[in-house]
Structure 1
Amino acid sequence: MRQSNHKKSRDMTAFLYERLSRDDNLEGESYSIGNQKKLLTKVAKEKGYTNLVHFLDDGISGVTMDRPGFVEMIRQLEQGRAAAVFVKDLSRLGRNYIEVGRLTEEFFPEHDIRLVAVSDNIDTAEGENELAPIRNLFNEWYARDISKKRRISNKIKGNAGEPMGQPPYGYIKDSDNPKRWIVDDEAAQVVRRIYSMTLEGYGTEQIATQLERDEILTPRAYWLKKGIKRPGKGKQQPATKWNSSTVTKILSLQEYCGDILNFKTYSKSYKNKKRLENDRENWVIFKDVHEPIIERSVFEQVQQKRGKIRKRRTNEGKHNMFSGLLVCADCGCNLHFHFNQGNPEIKYFNCSNYKGNRGSCTSTHYVRVDFLEQVVLGEIRRLTKFASLYEDEFLKAVIGHSQQAVEIDRKLKEKELKALLTRDEELDGLFERIYEDNVSGKLSDDRFAKMSRRYEEEQKELVEKIKKLHSEIEKQSSQAMTTDMFISLVRKYTRARKLTPRMLNELVEKIEVYHAEKIDGVWEQRLRIHYNCVGEITIPKMLPLPIPDVTVNTRKGVFVNYAPAEIAG
């Protein structure tokens, strides 16, 4: 009896499926979800169905079959909950010839489901429609044609400087001109805070934790609160639960400098909507289009800092602003931060590769933090005086070092790239030769397989190296951190009285630390400071800008004096 009732209920049930995508808006009001519902309800009732269940997908392309409403309808059909499916036309089911054909030719017949496509005059209860496969094919051609037109349109718009994506967190579309982005002050404050904290030495995890403590809404939660629709499902999580990945993304967006970056991603075909990362060489960049949230110089400093792995804390959780900036002048390894167990006020760094700690470096390269603070602040003050009192000489020193360092590095990379490209061509020739030898019988199949596999593996590694070098050379060529920017940073700290993490991060790239040596009866600690983007700066000896006079008592009765590496020995 129960089975009979179930069958009766099924026989009286029809599923009505409505779908609308952006492409269908071109067809006019007749394709609206509301009109589809009215039409299908009327026809289903006329055909005797009393239990009508609606499934819909609004704003989703028919090219993909992974549509929430559609997937749920299929799931319930598999459970035998309906006897018929009504759609406005076959294109509502989808614009995928193979998948829709599988539905109409296999799935619906196997599950004894009646299909009614109203506008196409298809009703499987009245027999097969020979035109259905042709209509199905035309529906896919339509999707392909629309996709081609949209790609061409997007290419024209993108190359004309029109933003191709949604504005990032911190910007909103101008209500008077949707093609223009304007600063969203509330969100922009958070963006500026993230960049500021990065320059002060905080890592992405630390920034995310602090934002969460301060109950700052995540970008997605913020958009939801403001009623701003953004694509993507996103994971369900607390509104103030920041992730380091979100902070990292914000720190990587050049759009905050006021730029438009188009074609950063692409899709392989109109059937595959997954977005893939595009090579930077294929991007189209328009600078200074909208109001910047972050100064370009600040953005470049952050990018440079993010390129380094920086150990910011000891195992005990202690923090120091020099962590990640100090390197051993002899072995090149990082110096690690410590504090004296007997007297925690004494903080110091030493080489992480010292052989006394199972490393290979012959000396500890011990240097006190208070010593470093005095020396670096003194050198920055000396640098600012150099810039303000002797501007011409300063410009020569900065430009000379900047251009020389970049040019040497670029030439080395280009030389390496040329060698890799030559080897890549050689491998093509070798592969062609062994192929001919194999065909002629000079090389056995087994030997050919082994040699070709080896060549293919080597070529695969070469391709990755070539791609990486291309990217590095391009990045170096387009680096926006100019001499003027560095000069403005130096002048920014003309009256600095105390060394701060931000000052250190903005100006200093790294500091080479030498092991203290006894010279003419006096202990000297040599340091070599490399500044961001310009490297070392040598101040002419004839100028009245004395080297900072810094002395520290490292052990009882042992005093160490500072000496710049460039003039020592």
Structure 2
Amino acid sequence: MKQSNNKKSRDVTAFLYERLSRDDNLEGESYSIGNQKKLLAKVAKEKGYTNLVHFLDDGISGVTMDRSGFVEMIRQLEQGKAAAVFVKDLSRLGRNYIEVGRLTEEFFPDHDIRLVAVSDNIDTAEGENELAPIRNLFNEWYARDISKKRRISNKIKGNAGEPMGQPPYGYIKDPNDPKHWIVDDEAAQVVRRVYSMTLEGFGTEQIAAQLEKDDVLTPRAYWLTKGIKRPGKGKQQPPTKWNSSTITKILSLQEYCGDILNFKTYSKSYKNKKRIDNDRENWVVFQDVHEAIIERAVYEQVQQKRGKIRKRRTNNGEHNMFSGLLVCADCGSNLHFHFNQGNPEIKYFNCSNYKGNRGTCTSTHYVRVDFLEEVVLGEIRRLTKFASLYENEFVKAVIGHSQQAEQTDRKLKEKELKTLLARDEELDGLFERIYEDNVSGKLSDDRFAKMSRRYEDEQKELSEKIKKLRSEIEKQSSRSMTTDMFIGLVRKYTRARKLTPRMLNELIEKIEVFNAEKIDGVWEQRLRIHYNCVGTIEIPTVLPLPIPEVSVNTRKGVVVNYAPL
């Protein structure tokens, strides 16, 4: 925006407004900002204006009136700084019938401002133009028509697997194929680090603090250094100031598994550009489209962990890798981490809802950390032996006997879904054709209304079927996918010699802790381990895979033995 520094009188000052949007690029070079400027300057000078002030909005739709250049021009017009406004045509002012009508019929006359729309042959100094309201109406219809065609086009592209948005942090567009994403190695390293730290037990705030400490650029700051433009204003903050919300967003993106997820958001109408979160059942997911940054197994483990409570710490700030995994077998409450005041080396958990601590649970469910470590490591070793020595029995125990039938059912549903999507796409094309036939006069309004109603009813019915099928297929795929992942993870820890936080997070969902009981004069502590994705696993007793023998001296003269369910 340029404005003369000399104070000219209002009578010789004209505001020249230029606007270009993506839709207007379809009209050709004559609509470019440069050509608009030349045309308006030439006409304004011919009409006697010597002080010309340009206002412009480049790449902004005329449907919205909230455009920075336009808003500033109106503000200065209200201050009486110009006598005339020049535009190439009325659609440059906007494609909103009501708002542009208010400008031309109320605002400009009330402020004694001359309006010249060059291509529309409108000059209010020469009298009222009766066609102006009709042109405004057509301009809005044009925007609505373009929006409708774009929605149909986006629907077709989205259902074909083309990414509908910008690649997330960690990916960039392939220079040879903008419809394909490739890994941005520098950013991808940060993404992998975020996932790795999460599996090691760090929270989002801790991860953000560590990245800031290590002077790692935030995604927006990183894109700026690479010359990558992204929408959104964004708050001004230090380039290495990470927020926990940014970490949460990175941890939520399934795209890092190599997938494309389309239709995650939508807008209500062509006039309202605000994006609204779509229900997950309306998303369209294409797996393994581009190279994965995060292994699917790792992503699934992180999603399972994200809903858990934060790792509880003791008063001195210490936390334990079992925190958030242990639950009371009787009341379902979480167990809290403590250490013995007299002997800090003794670390233990007990029920947070114990009535002795003003809760309602009748027992403490006390369990020592060293006891837990031995039992869980022993059970994981037992499980890995089961997987390596008796593979068929292990797969049956994990997946069950119904997998084959479920796979057949899923294939039939996928075939049906493909047929429904093809018909839905065909209806989009049919509707577009009858719409064009109606506009051109080949199809009467009455006939168009009947045909479009029939197509819309069929498409509505298809939409419900497609939504239901996608939901069923996704559930079946998830079950199959997660069990396969679990089998792979178990094999990954075949040679494990030490229990680590990552091992716990990847393999175990929760551990139910029962209160120790004295049976036949012997104290026994029962635990029930629930593994991620598959729940509890029963190892056949006929197999030579002995239960871990673990005992711990909980206090003088009292020995507690591990007793599985």
TM-score (norm 1): 0.84
Following superposition, the deviation at residue 411 of structure 1 comes to 21
Q: Which is further off, 549-558 or 121-130? A: 549-558
CA pair 410-534 structure 1, distance change in 2 beyond 3 A: farther
The DSSP-based 3-state class of the residue aligned with 2:509 is strand
Q: After superposition, what is the alpha-carbon deviation per residue over 1:420-473, rounded to whole angstroms, capped at 9, x for unaligned? A: 999999999999999999999999999999999999999999999999999799
Structure 1 Cα separation of the partners of residues 85 and 444 of structure 2: 61
The DSSP-based 3-state class of the residue aligned with 2:526 is strand
Q: Which is further off, 397-406 or 278-287? A: 397-406
Does the Cα contact within 8 Å between 1:114 and 1:125 map onto a contact in 2? Answer: yes
Following superposition, the deviation at residue 517 of structure 1 comes to 1.2
Structure 2 Cα separation of the partners of residues 457 and 317 of structure 1: 61
Following superposition, the deviation at residue 408 of structure 1 comes to 20
Structure 1 Cα separation of the partners of residues 27 and 542 of structure 2: 80
Structure 2 Cα separation of the partners of residues 375 and 424 of structure 1: 55
Following superposition, the deviation at residue 558 of structure 1 comes to 2.0
Following superposition, the deviation at residue 117 of structure 1 comes to 1.1
Following superposition, the deviation at residue 406 of structure 1 comes to 12
Structure 2 Cα separation of the partners of residues 126 and 426 of structure 1: 51
Residue in 1 that maps onto 2:308? 308
Following superposition, the deviation at residue 101 of structure 1 comes to 0.3
CA pair 14-269 structure 1, distance change in 2 beyond 3 A: same
Following superposition, the deviation at residue 475 of structure 1 comes to 4.6
Does the Cα contact within 8 Å between 1:401 and 1:535 map onto a contact in 2? Answer: no
Structure 2 Cα separation of the partners of residues 450 and 140 of structure 1: 25
The DSSP-based 3-state class of the residue aligned with 1:129 is coil
Residue in 1 that maps onto 2:290? 290
Does the Cα contact within 8 Å between 1:405 and 1:534 map onto a contact in 2? Answer: no
Does the Cα contact within 8 Å between 2:156 and 2:425 map onto a contact in 1? Answer: no
CA pair 13-411 structure 1, distance change in 2 beyond 3 A: closer
CA pair 200-314 structure 1, distance change in 2 beyond 3 A: same
Structure 1 Cα separation of the partners of residues 24 and 163 of structure 2: 24
Following superposition, the deviation at residue 270 of structure 1 comes to 0.8
The DSSP-based 3-state class of the residue aligned with 1:480 is helix
Following superposition, the deviation at residue 381 of structure 1 comes to 0.9
Q: Which is further off, 453-462 or 510-519? A: 453-462
Does the Cα contact within 8 Å between 1:402 and 1:534 map onto a contact in 2? Answer: no
Does the Cα contact within 8 Å between 2:2 and 2:53 map onto a contact in 1? Answer: no
Does the Cα contact within 8 Å between 1:401 and 1:536 map onto a contact in 2? Answer: no
Structure 2 Cα separation of the partners of residues 302 and 378 of structure 1: 24
Following superposition, the deviation at residue 260 of structure 1 comes to 1.2
Does the Cα contact within 8 Å between 2:117 and 2:123 map onto a contact in 1? Answer: yes
CA pair 470-166 structure 1, distance change in 2 beyond 3 A: closer
Q: Which is further off, 355-364 or 225-234? A: 225-234
Following superposition, the deviation at residue 245 of structure 1 comes to 1.4
Q: After superposition, what is the alpha-carbon deviation per residue over 1:161-192, rounded to whole angstroms, capped at 9, x for unaligned? A: 11111111111111111111111111111111
Q: Which is further off, 193-202 or 40-49? A: 40-49
Structure 1: any 5+ residue segments left out of the alignment? 565-569
Structure 1 Cα separation of the partners of residues 437 and 52 of structure 2: 70
Structure 2 Cα separation of the partners of residues 445 and 146 of structure 1: 20
CA pair 488-429 structure 1, distance change in 2 beyond 3 A: closer
Q: After superposition, what is the alpha-carbon deviation per residue over 1:550-569, rounded to whole angstroms, capped at 9, x for unaligned? A: 222222332211111xxxxx
CA pair 312-472 structure 1, distance change in 2 beyond 3 A: farther
CA pair 160-540 structure 1, distance change in 2 beyond 3 A: same
Following superposition, the deviation at residue 69 of structure 1 comes to 1.0
Q: After superposition, what is the alpha-carbon deviation per residue over 1:30-83, rounded to whole angstroms, capped at 9, x for unaligned? A: 111111111112222222222222111110000111111111111222222222
Does the Cα contact within 8 Å between 1:401 and 1:537 map onto a contact in 2? Answer: no
Does the Cα contact within 8 Å between 1:334 and 1:351 map onto a contact in 2? Answer: yes
Structure 1 Cα separation of the partners of residues 501 and 129 of structure 2: 75
CA pair 547-409 structure 1, distance change in 2 beyond 3 A: farther
Residue in 1 that maps onto 2:487? 487
Does the Cα contact within 8 Å between 1:85 and 1:115 map onto a contact in 2? Answer: yes
Does the Cα contact within 8 Å between 1:402 and 1:535 map onto a contact in 2? Answer: no
Following superposition, the deviation at residue 8 of structure 1 comes to 6.1
CA pair 135-492 structure 1, distance change in 2 beyond 3 A: same
**Mapping of 1:123-272 within 5 angstroms?**
123-272=123-272
Structure 2 Cα separation of the partners of residues 219 and 308 of structure 1: 26
Structure 2: any 5+ residue segments left out of the alignment? none
Following superposition, the deviation at residue 331 of structure 1 comes to 0.5
CA pair 6-493 structure 1, distance change in 2 beyond 3 A: closer
Residue in 1 that maps onto 2:505? 505
CA pair 344-118 structure 1, distance change in 2 beyond 3 A: same
CA pair 156-177 structure 1, distance change in 2 beyond 3 A: same
Q: How many residues align?
A: 564
Structure 1 Cα separation of the partners of residues 452 and 39 of structure 2: 63
Structure 2 Cα separation of the partners of residues 106 and 78 of structure 1: 13
Structure 2 Cα separation of the partners of residues 191 and 480 of structure 1: 26
Structure 1 Cα separation of the partners of residues 540 and 496 of structure 2: 23
Does the Cα contact within 8 Å between 1:516 and 1:525 map onto a contact in 2? Answer: yes
Q: After superposition, what is the alpha-carbon deviation per residue over 1:267-317, rounded to whole angstroms, capped at 9, x for unaligned? A: 111111111112222222211111111111111111111233344434543
Give the CA RMSD over aligned residues: 9.6
Structure 1 Cα separation of the partners of residues 440 and 151 of structure 2: 47
Structure 1 Cα separation of the partners of residues 438 and 4 of structure 2: 71
Q: Which is further off, 481-490 or 144-153? A: 481-490
Q: After superposition, what is the alpha-carbon deviation per residue over 1:370-398, rounded to whole angstroms, capped at 9, x for unaligned? A: 11111111111111111111212212221
Does the Cα contact within 8 Å between 1:207 and 1:247 map onto a contact in 2? Answer: yes
Structure 2 Cα separation of the partners of residues 426 and 53 of structure 1: 50
Percent identity between the two aligned chains: 90
